[in-house]
Structure formats: structure tokens, C-alpha cells
């Protein structure tokens, strides 16, 4: 059975940083393209970015709203996906989900609140 | 970015009703469209991919249709567990973009 478990969320002040993790199990993580999606309060789902598998080049793509502030990475030896979030703004307040490349499987999400 | 719209934004229906939600893309996305169901406090659940293919384990009461720019999701026989918000999403081009959602509740 596939499990994706996000962690690392919390309350952070504007301008601060936070690193989210997504621990994966139940599938071959090394071959998977992994994606971060977020959902602000009362807002639609928003794709943040994606990292391809190393065998597919490991390319990373970002949404314009987070490019140059957020960094997606992965550690295939630990079956873990990361999202480093810098220069956080109040608009970044959301539940952050990790999902396997085809959006078949999702984690439960982790809440990030940016507030002074 | 490709813009996705949905209608209605919300609807009230009775158990056993046939419910249809529509989704429109701002440009041709062929059939690269997903439908998700989301309940409060939960992650989205993939129902339909490639516009009309049923994800494994999803009840046959769900169906999807359409191509190009116009799509629809139909629930043929609404059950209590189907009360949720439904989102369409295009994956024809980066970034993948979602519709605003359609909330289905009980009349």
C-alpha cells in the first residue's frame, strides 16, 4: 500500500523559512516523479512544482508564484521528498500536499501558516 | 497558464439524483484532464483521468466525458458519501492548473 506522509509544517513569520518533508513507502520512489501541491484557506488547489526521477533527468519545474523562493529536492536513499521554502509570505499560508507524479496518491497534508 | 473554470460553483441535490458538473479550459487540452473529489480535512482523491477513464476502485456511478476545451463529470446516482467538492485539473501543459471547485451538498 502506498503511503505519503508530510511533516515540517508550522507557524512562521513573514520572511522566514521552513522545510517540509514527504516520506514515501509502498512504491518504487526512485522511479517516481514527485509533486508538491498546496491549498490556501478557501482557495483552489495550486501546483507548486515537480521533480522528475533521476533516470528521467531529475529536472525540477516550479510555479511562477514560488520560483526563486522554494526549492524542491529528493533523497532517493531515504525515499523522501523535500520542499525548502524561503522568504515566506502571508499568501503562502496553506495546507501543503505531496503527491506521486500522476496524482494517484496524496499525503494527508501539512499546515503552513505565515503570520506575524 | 491554462485557466480552468467550473460550473456550477455549488449545487444541492437529493440522494439518488443524477448530478453533472462542467469544466472548461481556456485552450485545447485534448483529453489531459483529471477529476478529483475532496472532503473537508482530507486530501484530494483522483476519480477520473484522461477525461473519461475511471481510476481503480472508483464506483461506476462516476463518469467523465469531453475533449478539447469542454468536459463534464457525472454522478449517476448520488450517494451520501459523494457529498464533497469536485475539482477538474488539466495536465496538458505546465503548470498543471485546477478549477475553482464545485461543492455538492444535500438539498
What digits encode the pLDDT tens for the residues A7-34?
999 999 999 999 999 999 999 999 999 9
How far the first Cα of chain A sits from its last, in Å, is: 40
- Give the pLDDT mean for A56-76: 97
Helix or strand run (H / E) with residue A111:
strand A110-114
The answer, yes or no, to whether residue A102 has pLDDT greater than 90, is no
Give residue A39's pLDDT: 98
Q: pLDDT value at position A67?
A: 95
> Would you call B49 an interface residue with chain A, using a CB distance cutoff of 8 Å?
yes
Nearest chain B alpha carbon to A111: B41
Query: Chain A closest CA to B83's CA: distance in Å?
Result: 17
Chain B contact for A111 (CB, 8 A cutoff):
no
Degrees, nearest 5: CA angle B15-B21-B25: 165
A24 and A16 in contact (C-beta within 8 Å)? no
Q: How far apart are CA B41 and CA A97, in angstroms?
A: 12
Does residue A81 carry a pLDDT above 90?
yes
CA distances to A49, A99, A111, B48, B89 from B19, rounded to whole Å, are: 33, 28, 32, 15, 19
- Residue A49, min C-alpha distance to chain B (Å): 8
The predicted pLDDT at position B58 comes to: 97
Q: Is the pLDDT of residue B66 over 90?
A: yes
- A44 and B98 within 8 Å at the Cβ level: the answer is yes
Would an 8 Å CB–CB cutoff place B35 in contact with chain A? no
Distance in angstroms (rounded) separating the CA atoms of residues B82 and B84: 6
pLDDT exceeds 90 at position B36:
yes
Strands B102-106 and B10-13: parallel
Residue A101: per-residue pLDDT: 78
Q: Please choose, from the candidates A85, A94, A95, A96, the residue with its C-alpha nearest in 3D space to the C-alpha of residue A15.
A: A85
B43 closest CB neighbour out of A47, A64, A107: A107
Amino acid at each position: 500500500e502506498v503511503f505519503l506522509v508530510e511533516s515540517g509544517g508550522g507557524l512562521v513569520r513573514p520572511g522566514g523559512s521552513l522545510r517540509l518533508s514527504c516520506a514515501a513507502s509502498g512504491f518504487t520512489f526512485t522511479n517516481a516523479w514527485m509533486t508538491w501541491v498546496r491549498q490556501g484557506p478557501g482557495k483552489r488547489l495550486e501546483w507548486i512544482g515537480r521533480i522528475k526521477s533521476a533516470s528521467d533527468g531529475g529536472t525540477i519545474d516550479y510555479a511562477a508564484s514560488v520560483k526563486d523562493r522554494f526549492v524542491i529536492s529528493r533523497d532517493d536513499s531515504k525515499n523522501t521528498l523535500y520542499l525548502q521554502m524561503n522568504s515566506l509570505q502571508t499568501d503562502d499560508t496553506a495546507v501543503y500536499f505531496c503527491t506521486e507524479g500522476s496524482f494517484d496518491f496524496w499525503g494527508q497534508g501539512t499546515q503552513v501558516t505565515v503570520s506575524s | 497558464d491554462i485557466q480552468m473554470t467550473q460550473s456550477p460553483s455549488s449545487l444541492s441535490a437529493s440522494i439518488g439524483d443524477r448530478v453533472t458538473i462542467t469544466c472548461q479550459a481556456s485552450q485545447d487540452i485534448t483529453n489531459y484532464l483529471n477529476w478529483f473529489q475532496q472532503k473537508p480535512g482530507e486530501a484530494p482523491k483522483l476519480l477520473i483521468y484522461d477525461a473519461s477513464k475511471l481510476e481503480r476502485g472508483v464506483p461506476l456511478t462516476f463518469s467523465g466525458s469531453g475533449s478539447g476545451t469542454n468536459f463534464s463529470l457525472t454522478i449517476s446516482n448520488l450517494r451520501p458519501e459523494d457529498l464533497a467538492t469536485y475539482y477538474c485539473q488539466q495536465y496538458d501543459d505546465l503548470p498543471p492548473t485546477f478549477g475553482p471547485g464545485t461543492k455538492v451538498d444535500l438539498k
